[in-house]
Amino acid sequence: MPLLPAKPRIRESFERAATSYDGAAALQRQVGERLLADFAADAAPSDLVDAGCGTGHGARLLRARWPQLHVTAIDFATTMLAIAQNDADACLAADIEALPCRDECFAAWWSNLTVQWCDIGQVLGEARRVLRPGGQLALSTLGPDTFRELRDAFSGVDGHRHTLTFSEPQLIGEALQRAGFVDIRLQRQTIKLHYPDLKTLLRAVKEIGANSVGEGVRSGLLGRSAWQRVQAAYEQYRTPAGLPARYDVILAYAKK
C-alpha cells in the first residue's frame, strides 16, 4: 500500500481548500468526463453514491447525463459537502473507508480522484458492501508516473520524496478482484497540464487541497539555493505551452 499522510491531515487540507477548489480543479473535471465516457456505456443507474464528492462536480456531471439519477454525495470534509449539497440529493459527512450506509443500498458507486488518498482495500470492501448485486463501480485514481517531472527536478536536490506514492494499475485491478468485483476493466491515460512557472504549478496543487503532494516543496521550506536548483531543473521540461505537470490517470470499471 502506498505511503499516505495521516488521515486527519488529509481531511484538514481538503477542509481548507473548499473555497479555492473549483477554480483549480481542471484535472478533476477532465478526468471526471473521461471516467463518465465509458461508464455511460452501461445502462443508466437509478441511484449512485459519489465517494469523496468534493464540491459536487460528480453530481453535476452525472445528472447532466442522467437527469433522473439520485446522487448521494459523501465526503469527510464538511466544507466541501456544504458546497456539494447544492447539487446532490443527499449528503453524508463520512469516511469512505467506513460508510454509514446499509448493505446493498446503491445501484452504482462512483469516485473521481479520491482513492489515492485512502486504503484502497478498505474503500473497495465498503463499495462492494453498499452496492446491490449487479451494481456498477467507476473510479479514477493516479498512477506512479504522476508528477514525474517534479520528482526528477527534486532528485538532484535532496534525498526526500516530495510526492505521494501512487499504485500501478495492476494493483488497482488486483484490489478490485480481492474485494470480489467482476467484469473489471482498466484504462490508463496521460494528461499534461501546463503552468507558467513552478510556483503557480505548486499553488494549483495546494488550491485543490492536495498540499501533502508538494510537502517541503514550497520555496519557503527549501533553502533559497536549493529552490533555485529545483526551478532550473524543472525549466528543462518547458514547452511553448508552459511547464508541464504530468498525471498518470487510471480509470477502473467493475460490477458486483
**Which residues here bind ligand SAM, judged by CB under 6 A?**
10, 14, 25, 28, 32, 52-54, 57-58, 75-77, 80, 95-97, 112-114, 117-118, 208
Closest separation between CB of residue 125 and ligand SAM, Å? Answer: 13
Q: Please, which residues have CB within 8 angstroms of residue 89's CB and are 6 or more apart in sequence? A: 70, 71, 72
Q: Which residue shows C-alpha cell 526528477?
A: 152
Q: Which is nearer to ligand SAM, 105 or 157 (CB)?
A: 105
**Closest CB to ligand SAM among residues 97, 149:** 97
Residue 176 Cβ vs ligand SAM, minimum distance, rounded to whole Å: 18
Quote the least distance from Cβ 203 to ligand SAM, whole Å. Answer: 16
Q: For residue 187, give the nearest of 144, 146, 127, 143 by alpha carbon.
A: 143
Bridge partners, 247 (sequence order): 191
Report the residue number, 31 or 131, with the smaller CB distance to ligand SAM. 31
Q: From the CB of 43, what's the least distance to ligand SAM, in Å?
A: 23
DSSP state, residue 163: S
Q: Give the DSSP letter string of 34-92.
A: HHHHHHTTSPPPSEEEEET-TTTHHHHHHHHH-TT-EEEEEES-HHHHHHHTTT-SEEE
d(CA 94, CA 185): 28
Least distance from ligand SAM to the Cβ atom of residue 6, Å: 12
User: Residue 249 in contact with residue 147, Cβ under 8 Å?
Assistant: no
| Closest to ligand SAM by CB, 94 or 105 | 94
Residue whose Cβ sits closest to ligand SAM: 54
67 versus 100: smaller Cβ distance to ligand SAM: 100
